[in-house]
Amino acid sequence: MSVTERTDVLVVGSGFGGSIPAYHLAAGGARVVVLERGPHLGSQDFAHDLRMGSYTRTVDLVEGDGITVVAGNCVGGSSVVYFAASLRAPGFVFDRQGSLGHRLWPSSLTRASLDPWYDRVEETLPVSLPRWDQVPYPGGLFAAACTRAGRTCNPVPVAVDLDRCTNCNWMLNGCHFDAKRSMLLNYLPAATAAGAEIRALHEAQTIAPATTPGYRYRVAYTVLDGDDYRVPVGAGTIEAKVLVLAGGALGTPVLLQRSAALLGGVPSAVGRYFSGNGDRVSIADVDESKVRELLGLQRAPGVAYEGFPVGKPIGSMSFDRLDPQDPEFTRFSLQQIYFPGITNILAQATDRPDSSWFGVAKKDLRSRWRSWLSVLAMTEDDNEGVFGPPPATGSFTRVASSVGLSTLRHRPTAHTLRGWAAADAEARAVLERDGLARVRPWSETVGSLTAHPLASCRMGDDPATSALDDHNELRGHPGLFVTDAAAVPTSLCVNPSLTVAALAERACPHIVDRAAEAGVAVRYGAPAPDGATSGRRGVLGQAR
């Protein structure tokens, strides 16, 4: 006979969106359980190699129809594998209308109203702004090219302890030195210290109404084999008075879709309006002699650059094309970024489809790998992704330990293509000036690729086009909140982690209110995990 457990608050997922509510609810006095489908690893487990069984333990590569998504799969979620760029979204983002013709973000949410919640996150992580002498070589090269082309460029604020960082450039594999400020170093240990229980290798499968009086939701889960996530080794159910979904923009909508009949329906916007944050990647094949001649740079005696894999993955960024007066779908940022060697096959060698993937030109291009510079454009896309019927279990069909097939279908609209074209043109204008480099986009034969999935269960004021209200609560389902990247309404033109975290912080007072209404002895107002209180003082006045 199966036994159903009970808790005050159940959190599904332990990344930015899950760890923050887990901490605040536990610190406020609630009993909190966190279900995380990935393993629980620490700095001692993060290896500096690309062997199967190393990074594949924590990173999922999920292929949809027309798009591939990279996501974290471990306790700490994507915060463990992200590149730590921590930026606030530009103010104009909150006024975006997309192709629907009306404001997509809730009217109560503006950059000014979110700033105090950004402050809370930055205080906790914390976020650092590198000096130019702390920016990696590729970041310096990009900055020099921008300056020569008449553009501005700035170091990127990062959630990294710069004194501890060794510039090993293995951020995808976690941080072996605990320099990257993932959730493993702040919110999660603080939640555990406050009594929260974190259960790794537990994958939520369905949500249904609770059967116990006083409880709202019943979640069925499977326990996964730590060596092969496709193999279930156990199962269970747990009921909660409040449920927080934070399984990511690939996981949360699928869980809700699968549970729709059990819940008596879910909003029509669940599983629609997916955004890849407008991500667009190009590779610049840099001419070393031009680096010396045009930019006057020298990384070492006799070596102008050859520094693509040296340093941190993200170093510098141009914000010149983020003018709020420009039309929507023409605004974007350009960021210097490094991707591991396993992605090098994606660089398009020629303009001809028949020779861009294979052949001599491709081998020749890859032979100059150390002289590459990769650029990430984050544009205003059109939220065109749609999920099909959910698989029987999980967020996608797992075909290998870290590889999955999703029902997500993505066809970029003319608006999205317009933004990508503008970003491509700007990258060429900066990097191809006087023959400094040749810009090659990543091959489009594999569709677009993003590490910033968003908006598949988004907030908004319009019930027809948003699944959540402005407090992150699922419409028609009191006490069920979504606090991960799925809640972010649109692409942001910058890396989204800080905004996801700030929105999760903002949702916590409302989650506390719902828990208190359900009879939980809980209150809002905990300090930052390290005891700091300045951020708390900044939000208490608007916490309700």
For residue 409, CA distances in Å to 66, 418, 518, 532 come to 6, 20, 39, 44
User: Which pLDDT band, with edges at 50, 70 and 90, does 341 fall under?
Assistant: confident
Domains located in the chain, CATH noted: 1-85+87-124+178-276+451-544 (3.50.50.60), 128-157+279-379+411-446 (3.30.410)
The pLDDT > 90 percentage for the chain reads: 85
- 32, amino acid identity: V
Average pLDDT over all residues of the chain: 94
Phi, psi of 274 (to 5 degrees): -60, 140
Beta bridge partners of 11: 34, 244
Q: What is the arithmetic mean of pLDDT over 181-188?
A: 97
- DSSP letter for 50, please: -
pLDDT at 353 over 70: no
Q: What is the arithmetic mean of pLDDT over 449-457?
A: 96
Q: Which tokens belong to 265? A: 């329906």
pLDDT at 38 over 60: yes
Q: What is the arithmetic mean of pLDDT over 88-109?
A: 96
Q: For 364-392, how does the pLDDT look when each residue is reduced to its tens digit (9 = 90+)?
A: 878 889 999 999 999 999 999 999 999 99
Q: What's the pLDDT at 348?
A: 77
Measured on CA atoms in the order 143, 68, 10, 56, is the torsion positive or negative?
A: negative
Q: What's the pLDDT at 358?
A: 75
Task: Tell me the C-alpha distance between 136 and 139, whole Å.
Answer: 5
pLDDT at 534 over 90: no
Nearest to 142 by CA among 363, 331, 313: 313
Q: How far is CA 65 from the centre of its chain?
A: 20
Question: Residue 291, by phi and psi: left (phi above 0), alpha (psi -120 to 50) or beta?
Answer: alpha
Beta bridge partners of 222: 203, 235
Q: What is the arithmetic mean of pLDDT over 260-267?
A: 98
H-type alpha helices, 130-275: 137-148, 187-193, 252-263
Phi, psi of 361 (to 5 degrees): -60, -35
- DSSP letter for 441, please: E
pLDDT at 544 over 60: no
H-type alpha helices, 3-136: 16-27, 111-124
- 535, amino acid identity: G
Q: For 194-253, how does the pLDDT look when each residue is reduced to its tens digit (9 = 90+)?
A: 999 999 999 999 999 999 999 999 999 999 999 999 999 999 999 999 999 999 999 999
Q: What's the pLDDT at 374?
A: 95
pLDDT at 1 over 50: no
Task: Tell me the C-alpha distance between 399 and 336, whole Å.
Answer: 32
Question: Residue 174, by phi and psi: left (phi above 0), alpha (psi -120 to 50) or beta?
Answer: left
pLDDT at 445 over 70: no
Q: What is the arithmetic mean of pLDDT over 119-128?
A: 95
pLDDT at 70 over 60: yes
Residue 299 burial by Cβ neighbours in a 10 Å radius (0-12, 13-18, 19+)? middle
User: Which pLDDT band, with edges at 50, 70 and 90, does 437 fall under?
Assistant: very high
CA atoms within 13 A on the CB side of 280: 28
Residue count (the chain): 544
Task: Tell me the C-alpha distance between 126 and 120, whole Å.
Answer: 9
Task: Tell me the C-alpha distance between 247 and 483, whole Å.
Answer: 9
Task: Tell me the C-alpha distance between 222 and 237, whole Å.
Answer: 9
